[in-house]
């Protein structure tokens, strides 16, 4: 064990530094610990929220979406899309149709209606919608029937449920053009086969899924066609989209998952940055306690340092004692904060905390990132060392031998 390290540890909670020295040391360590604990817990929750929200959005939507934007668009088939994407690792390519409708129910005796969006999909391919929960009555197979799968939020609005054999009527108000040139609505009744839950209010309260052919017939002239493409790695979508912009077929547009909710993701990023800065400021405030403790120790131990100097210890080694003292304070506080923060996150992962209905998600999401935790550990120790620079410089600039002259 190095002598400088042994002395630095002896100075940590020495009662010779004053009446309140030990208390101030405990306060300094606790300040660093609370700051690191807050950073670890809060940033892990915010990272978990973003990850969970992204997964749910990617469950309902695809990584890349082609949309027809004009009536004279060139035909686009699955093989054409695969040829456009080249050697990218494609997991699934599926067509869909979308449009605006009115969903209507008469289960209560009175007509209940609300605006909604219809999406025509292949019921046999619902498995590609990861992280989406489907509630199907016992004994029923979705793919074998012609009906509607409605979002969880629509159940309470229209008072329907698949377990009761309820039907909903879907009306496309601008589906066809009549002999007089006016728009004529299309409507059709569908049995409610199942309920889906994405965890995103915008989807659960607005979308109705039906077989693709039925959606195309119902929507008529207002149908909007497209293709959904999913890759093995969602992070590759932005680069692929940029490469595709100049080679799109006529009448088609392409959009990535990161562009469909750009404002939401930008707000989440800004919130993470702002919260990180605020909590880092709390750590900086805690560093004042470290500076005060090190200043107290250097003042109380100057004569000890002078004696060590007279015995042959170099000035650099004496300065190293106080640097190590600040380092140990930072390590102790950081270790306690990381232990408490990581433990809390692991507990929340094992036993999730339920959130009120007003939130996007049912449970508080937590996602620990080892790299971020390591960065917080470096940050805590670094702030402790930097905060001790001034009192340590006072020791370095003092002729310690002169202190013994009048002893």
Residue 192 CA to residue 279 CA, distance in Å, equals 49
> Can you say how many angstroms the Cα of residue 34 is from the centroid of all Cα atoms in its chain?
23
Read out DSSP for 113-181? EEEEEEEEE-GGGGGGSTT-EEE--TT--GGGS--EEEEHHHHHHHT--GGGT-EEEEEEEEEEE-TTS
Q: Is 65 helix (H, G, I), strand (E, B) or coil?
A: strand
Q: Do 228 and 125 meet the contact criterion of CB atoms below 8 Å apart?
A: no
The whole-number pLDDT of residue 71 equals 76
Residue 33 CA to residue 38 CA, distance in Å, equals 9
Q: Quick one: tokens of 120?
A: 């025509």
The whole-number pLDDT of residue 309 equals 58
Q: Residue 405: pLDDT above 60?
A: no
Q: Do 135 and 195 meet the contact criterion of CB atoms below 8 Å apart?
A: yes
Domain ranges in the chain are 3-57+264-404, 90-231
Residue 353 CA to residue 348 CA, distance in Å, equals 6
Task: Name the more confident of 336 and 264.
Answer: 336
Q: Do 221 and 81 meet the contact criterion of CB atoms below 8 Å apart?
A: no
The whole-number pLDDT of residue 254 equals 84
Q: What average pLDDT score do residues 123-150 get? A: 77
Q: Quick one: tokens of 106?
A: 């008469």
Phi, psi (degrees; rounded to nearest 5) at 252:
-125, 150
Q: Which of 132-146, 220-234, 273-287 has the lowest mean pLDDT?
A: 132-146
Q: Residue 308: pLDDT above 70?
A: no
Residue 38 CA to residue 311 CA, distance in Å, equals 45
Q: Which of 153-157, 213-217, 233-237 has the lowest mean pLDDT?
A: 233-237
Task: Confirm whether pTM is higher than 0.75.
Answer: no
Of the pLDDT bands very low, low, confident and very high (cuts 50, 70, 90), residue 339 is very high
In the chain, the percentage of residues whose pLDDT exceeds 90 is: 2
Residues 6+ apart with CB under 8 A from 132: 56, 59, 60, 196, 197, 198
What percent of the chain is helix, strand and coil (3-state, nearest 5)? 55, 20, 25
DSSP strand pairing (112-121 vs 90-105) = antiparallel
Q: Which of 143-152, 268-277, 388-397 has the lowest mean pLDDT?
A: 388-397
Q: Which of 11-20, 28-37, 94-103, 347-356 has the lowest mean pLDDT?
A: 11-20
Paired with 120 in beta bridges are 97, 210
Mean pLDDT of the chain: 78
């Amino acid at each position: 064990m190095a002598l400088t390290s042994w002395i630095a540890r002896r100075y940590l909670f020495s009662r010779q530094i004053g009446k309140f020295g030990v208390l101030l040391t405990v306060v300094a360590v606790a300040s660093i610990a609370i700051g690191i604990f807050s950073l670890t817990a809060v940033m892990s929750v915010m990272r978990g929220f973003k990850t969970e929200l992204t997964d749910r959005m990617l469950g309902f939507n695809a990584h890349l979406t082609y949309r027809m934007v004009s009536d004279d668009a060139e035909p686009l088939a699955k093989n054409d899309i695969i040829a456009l994407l080249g050697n990218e690792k494609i997991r699934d390519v599926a067509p869909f149709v979308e449009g605006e409708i009115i969903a209507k129910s008469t289960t209560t005796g009175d007509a209940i209606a609300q605006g909604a969006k219809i999406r025509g999909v292949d019921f046999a391919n619902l498995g590609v919608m990861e992280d989406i929960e489907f509630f199907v009555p016992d004994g029923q197979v979705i793919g074998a029937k012609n009906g509607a799968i409605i979002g969880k939020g629509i159940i309470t609005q229209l008072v329907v449920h698949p377990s009761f054999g309820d039907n909903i009527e879907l009306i496309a108000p601008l589906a066809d053009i009549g002999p007089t040139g006016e728009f004529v609505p299309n409507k059709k009744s569908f049995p409610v086969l199942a309920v889906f839950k994405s965890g995103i209010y915008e989807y659960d309260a607005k979308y109705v899924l039906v077989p693709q052919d039925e959606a195309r017939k119902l929507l008529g002239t207002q149908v909007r066609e497209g293709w959904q493409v999913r890759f093995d790695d969602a992070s590759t979508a932005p680069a692929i989209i940029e490469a595709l912009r100049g080679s799109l077929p006529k009448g088609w547009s392409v959009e990535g998952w990161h562009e469909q909710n750009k404002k939401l993701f930008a707000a989440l990023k800004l919130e993470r940055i702002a919260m990180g800065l605020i909590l880092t400021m709390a750590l900086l405030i805690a560093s004042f306690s470290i500076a005060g403790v090190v200043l107290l120790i250097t003042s109380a131990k100057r004569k000890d340092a002078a004696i060590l100097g007279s015995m042959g210890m170099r000035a650099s080694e004496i300065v190293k004692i106080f640097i190590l003292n600040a380092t140990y304070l930072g390590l102790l506080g950081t270790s306690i904060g990381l232990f408490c923060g990581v433990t809390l996150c692991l507990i929340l992962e094992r036993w999730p905390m339920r959130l009120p209905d007003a939130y996007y998600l049912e449970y508080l999401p937590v996602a620990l990132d080892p790299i971020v935790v390591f960065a917080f550990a470096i940050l805590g120790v670094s702030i402790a060392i930097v905060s001790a620079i001034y009192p340590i410089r006072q020791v370095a600039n003092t002729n310690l031998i002169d202190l013994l002259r009048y002893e």
